[in-house]
Structure 1
Amino acid sequence: MMTISPKHTGFFLFMILALIISGDLSAQENPPIPTNVEVNPVNVMNFGSFLVNADGGTLSMDYNSIRTPGAGVMLMNSGEPAAAAIFDVYANPGTILRVSHSSPFMLSGTGGGTITLNLDSFLANGEEILDGFFITTENAEIPNTVFIGGTLTMGQSEASPPGRYSGTITLTFIQE
């Protein structure tokens, strides 16, 4: 049996206190807040009205719905206005998301032709999205608005005759 003399009792209590105070105490972190990501389409992409010469051409539209015609394309100011695609994304603030897609997309026309759409212009929360990544900044009840533009490539008039073109684009919002 070990006995501690009253003379050493203070020393042992001091050592125990010193170990408790100076020791690295840690506990398991709380689990991360569950993040539910919800994406809702708000506006479909529309390049508006334009004319293409017989050799084809390109038409770009940025995330601000500003159209830039390439060689062989003339813009018209009739019909439906040009508009970028818009999505509302709901997630906790600070959530890192990546927008993934398998561009190019083929669009089919009423005249039987096809044109190609490449998505190449992205904006989220007022900041250009680079490399597909963005960080949500809004409270989970307020949408983080994502704007998307792209470039149409039309072939010669036999491959891309005049008409109305439409198709489906698939975007995936991946939580990183």
Structure 2
Amino acid sequence: MFCFCSFRLSGQIQVYNEQPLSFGSFIVKDAGGTVHVSYSAERTATGDIILINQSENFSPLVYGIEAPIGTLIHIQNGPDMKMYGDNGGELTVSLGASDKGTSFVSTVAPPDRNLVYIEATISVNSRNITPPGNYAGSVSVTFIQE
């Protein structure tokens, strides 16, 4: 699953999608559960889900922020979003914490970028509601320059 994300620009900052969010491959058994990818690229599952480790094919969402040194930037995640599969299924994606917290100060000058890693969790229903397939959609993250 790959999530392509939207963002709003404010003032002098530039936001780049450095790495799409991917939960990798997993098997959903009868009851479903969750898959979590941390901002440090660790993956865990709860409930009735078996993770398949195929060459570490999962990754947190990573943005590159170009901003003048000393710029204060706030990170605001959008609401939970539904993702839809090529098979008619659906699941819910929730964005979590970033490695920078909810705010950070730019420490590098453009064209260098401050990398922001954002973790996420998907909630997966039973196999009947979330059948095997490829799921895609978008999530929203807003970067606010102060």
What TM-score comes out, normalization by structure 2 length? 0.86
Aligned to 2:70: 94
CA distance in 1, matches of 2:28, 2:128: 12
The alignment's C-alpha RMSD in Å is 1.5
Q: Residue type matched to 1:46 in 2?
A: S
Q: Tell me the matched-pair count.
A: 136
* Structure 1 residue 79 displacement after superposition: 6.8
Aligned to 1:143: 113
Aligned to 1:133: 103
Q: Higher relative contact order by CA 8 Å / sep ≥ 6: 1 or 2? A: 2
Structure 2 stretches lacking a partner, 5+ long? 1-10
CA distance in 1, matches of 2:74, 2:29: 37
Question: Does the aligned pair in 2 maintain the 1:49–1:79 contact within 8 Å?
Answer: no
- Of residues 140, 143, 146 in structure 2, which corresponds to 1:173? 143
Q: Residue type matched to 2:14 in 1?
A: E
| Structure showing greater Rg | 1
Task: Tell me the alpha carbon deviations over residues 87-108 of structure 1, each in whole angstroms, 9 at most, x when there is no partner.
Answer: 1100011111111222211111
Question: Does the aligned pair in 2 maintain the 1:119–1:150 contact within 8 Å?
Answer: yes
Aligned to 1:60: 36
* Structure 1 residue 140 displacement after superposition: 2.8
* Structure 1 residue 86 displacement after superposition: 1.1
Question: Does the aligned pair in 1 maintain the 2:34–2:47 contact within 8 Å?
Answer: yes
CA distance in 1, matches of 2:144, 2:75: 6
**Is the aligned partner of 1:105 residue 2:81?**
yes
* Structure 1 residue 163 displacement after superposition: 1.0
* Structure 1 residue 51 displacement after superposition: 0.8
Q: Residue type matched to 1:97 in 2?
A: I
Structure 1 stretches lacking a partner, 5+ long? 1-34
* Structure 1 residue 80 displacement after superposition: 6.6
Matches within 5 A, 1:13-162: 36-78=12-54, 81-123=57-99, 128-129=100-101, 132-162=102-132
CA distance in 2, matches of 1:79, 1:107: 24
Task: Tell me the alpha carbon deviations over residues 66-123 of structure 1, each in whole angstroms, 9 at most, x when there is no partner.
Answer: 1011121111122771111111100011111111222211111111111011111311
CA distance in 2, matches of 1:105, 1:94: 33
Runs of 4+ residues deviating >3 angstroms: none
What TM-score comes out, normalization by structure 1 length? 0.72
Structure number having the greater strand percentage: 2
